[in-house]
Amino acid sequence: MAHVPASERRPQLVQAAIDLMTREGVAAGSTRAIAAELGVAQATVHYTFGTKKDLYRAVVEQLTAEFIGHVRAAYPGDGSFGEQVATLVHALWESSTGTDGRCVLLSEFAALATRDPDLQEIMRALQHGIERTAAEMLTALAEAHGLELATPAEEISVHFLTGFDGLTDRYLALRAPGEQPDHDTLRALNLLVATTVGLCLGAPAKP
């Protein structure tokens, strides 16, 4: 393969790692296997990232950026504050539980992080980053409606993401291949939207 600058090789290797791990799991993502996925020498992976931890961080950051980008792209242009929050939440749900296996991959990273200090550091940074992004989006949405949040945005984001992660894990654990979310899961998701909007406005909101 022709020489490719490191600035171009890096995203190629990250994508190769994501494709491989999505199919076969995080444990299958050795530097040798990732190099083979892209058709380069194993040394190329080490030269580009230095350590496996750096590669894993790049993979997690890319997956997170894809999720956040998907939600930002769905940013609603009209509707009430509650309706716009619901639109963003459902966009996040579609992105998180899609058939491409990305959410399963992030869940696998999170599970492995409980016993791996390096992964734990990466996932901790990911969690804080997602919480900040959620708080920023809520604040911007409230300002667009001329509202003052009744609860600090940072607290609302922790409440919402804790519930959302739990619902996502439940769905992934119970679903059969190709199966759509069951009524209870969708009802719980709508209830989570309602309680989140209630925290924002300072009053209970009906789902």
Q: Which helix (H) or strand (E) holds 204?
A: none
pLDDT, one tens digit per residue, over 188-207 is 999 999 999 999 999 655 54
Q: Locate tokens 């791990």: which residue?
A: 21
pLDDT in tens, 119-137: 898 899 888 989 999 999 9
CA atoms within 13 A on the CB side of 204: 3
* Domain ranges for the chain: 1-50, 60-201
For domain 60-201, give its CATH number from 1.20.120.550, 3.10.400.10, 1.10.357.10, 1.10.10.10.
1.10.357.10
Which ranges constitute the DSSP H helices of the chain? Answer: 6-24, 31-38, 42-49, 52-73, 81-96, 102-113, 117-144, 153-174, 183-201
As a whole number, the mean pLDDT across the chain is: 87
Residue 86: closest CA among 185, 186, 193: 193
CATH 1.10.10 fits 1-50, yes or no: yes
Tell me the pLDDT tens digit for each residue of 55-99: 999 999 998 888 888 888 877 778 899 999 999 998 888 888 775
Q: Is 25 left (phi over 0), alpha (psi -120 to 50) or beta?
A: left
Task: Report yes or no on whether pTM surpasses 0.85.
Answer: no
